[in-house]
Amino acid sequence: MRLVYSPHYDIRFFGLERLHPFDSRKYSRAWKLLRGWFGSRLRGVTMAPTRPIRREELLAVHTAAYLDRLRQSKYVAGALELPPVRYLPHRVLDWCILRPMRWATMGTIVAAAEAMEHGLAVNLSGGYHHAKPDGGEGFCIYSDIGLAIDRLRRDGRLQEDDRVAYIDLDAHQGNGVCHVFRTDNRVFIFDMYNREIYPGYDGEARDRIDCNLPLAANCHETDYLRTLKSRLPGFLDSLVGSGKVGLGIFNAGTDVYQGDPLGGLNLSAAGVLERDLFVIEQLRSREIPTVMLPSGGYTRMSYRLIAASVGRLLELSLFQQDFCKDWPCQGSNLL
Ligand SMILES: [Zn+2]
């Protein structure tokens, strides 16, 4: 397993982050928890992107007209759902918000390459599943998922006919990913989401989902996990049984956590951990190289939930039984 993280991921914009429920420093907070638990044992399994993604690379998925529109503060404010930032000069907005997202996008590309080599990789940011080729929305600007798949194909790490299993369990429907892969039938989309919240009914996006599981708001954790466990294995079996699956992407939004102001679902911390471990186990037991992305999550618990899942995966993949006795997640203190 590999962990991808950069201190450049955090978003800082002069206190304006308080205008959005998003914890814009959850990436470094999750990282600090993991570093506290694992210490020097993270050395050798952690890597950082060396630069943010460049405009010419973004053009692999995004239109030039859209990238030009990102120079307008008013447009970016709408995509970020932060109306007051429309008054910030573009350069400030770009430096404080969009640049960290370009670092995270490069992180997802690095993590995807690492997953191909080591089986499992987690980027501690990214999962911008609402970003479309020609538009940004829902706090998502760049389609890191689309760009990572494109890069793997260009590099030859993914063969032309290789399939991709995309598992989206963020509370919101991943409409951007559906639009990015609207005509690409090599990407198979499993999407379980709260049907009563943003982005609302996007017919074109929903028609593109291969396994569409809209849930009622506040559905019980037991029903959530039962639905996941009854549907994901069959979805993956049908893919593996009819062709090579070269990559799995798990968009693991923690906005399914109870009390999330945007997610409207009801999972406990233990439920989020169970969900994440189940999905990774399902992908890895079928020998599908897997990338995990944190995506959305708007409570102060979000970074702890991310760290708990990633920490458990690190323990399972790297330290086996030896480290269990020191593992702080075993008890209920963290969760
Ligand atoms: Zn979400």
**Rounded to the nearest whole angstrom, what is the distance from the C-alpha of residue 297 to the centroid of ligand 1?**
6
- The predicted model gives 123-128 an average pLDDT of 98
User: For residue range 100-125, what is the model confidence (pLDDT) as tens digits?
Assistant: 999 999 999 999 999 999 999 999 99
**Rounded to the nearest whole angstrom, what is the distance from the C-alpha of residue 119 to the centroid of ligand 1?**
26
Helix axis angle, 302-314 to 269-285, nearest 10°: 40
**Rounded to the nearest whole angstrom, what is the distance from the C-alpha of residue 253 to the centroid of ligand 1?**
6
Query: 190 pLDDT exceeds 50?
Result: yes
Cα(233)–Cα(115) distance, integer angstroms = 21
Cα(34)–Cα(39) distance, integer angstroms = 8
**Rounded to the nearest whole angstrom, what is the distance from the C-alpha of residue 324 to the centroid of ligand 1?**
32
pLDDT of residue 136: 97
Cα(307)–Cα(320) distance, integer angstroms = 18
Length of the chain: 335
pLDDT of residue 318: 75
Beta strand 290-293 with 245-251: parallel, antiparallel or unpaired?
parallel
187 beta partners: 164
**More confident: 171 or 321:** 171
pLDDT of residue 323: 37
Q: What's the distance, Cα to Cα, between the start and end of the chain in Å?
A: 23
Residue found under tokens 């379980």: 192
User: For residue range 325-335, what is the model confidence (pLDDT) as tens digits?
Assistant: 444 444 334 44
**pTM here?**
0.94
**Rounded to the nearest whole angstrom, what is the distance from the C-alpha of residue 172 to the centroid of ligand 1?**
4
Query: 60 pLDDT exceeds 60?
Result: yes
**Rounded to the nearest whole angstrom, what is the distance from the C-alpha of residue 256 to the centroid of ligand 1?**
8
3-state helix, strand, coil in the chain (%, to 5): 45, 15, 40
Has domain 2-12+22-49+100-326 been given CATH number 3.55.50.30? no
* Whole-number percent of the chain with pLDDT over 70: 92
pLDDT of residue 317: 80
Give the DSSP letter of residue 95. I
Which of 48, 23, 5 has the alpha carbon at shortest distance from 310? 5
pLDDT of residue 18: 66
Catalytic residue among 20, 130, 172, 179: 130
Query: 247 pLDDT exceeds 90?
Result: yes
Cα(104)–Cα(144) distance, integer angstroms = 8
Query: 94 pLDDT exceeds 80?
Result: yes
> 242 in helix, strand or coil?
coil
> 161 in helix, strand or coil?
coil
* Whole-number percent of the chain with pLDDT over 90: 84
Domain limits, the chain: 2-12+22-49+100-326
CB-CB contact of 38 with 311 (8 Å): yes
- CB-based burial of residue 275 (10 Å sphere; 0-12 exposed, 13-18 middle, 19+ buried)? buried
| Least-confidence region, from 9-18, 164-173, 215-224 | 9-18
| Residue 62 falls in the annotated catalytic set | no
pLDDT of residue 42: 93
pLDDT of residue 314: 93
Cα(216)–Cα(326) distance, integer angstroms = 39
Which of 171, 187, 156 has the alpha carbon at shortest distance from 179? 187
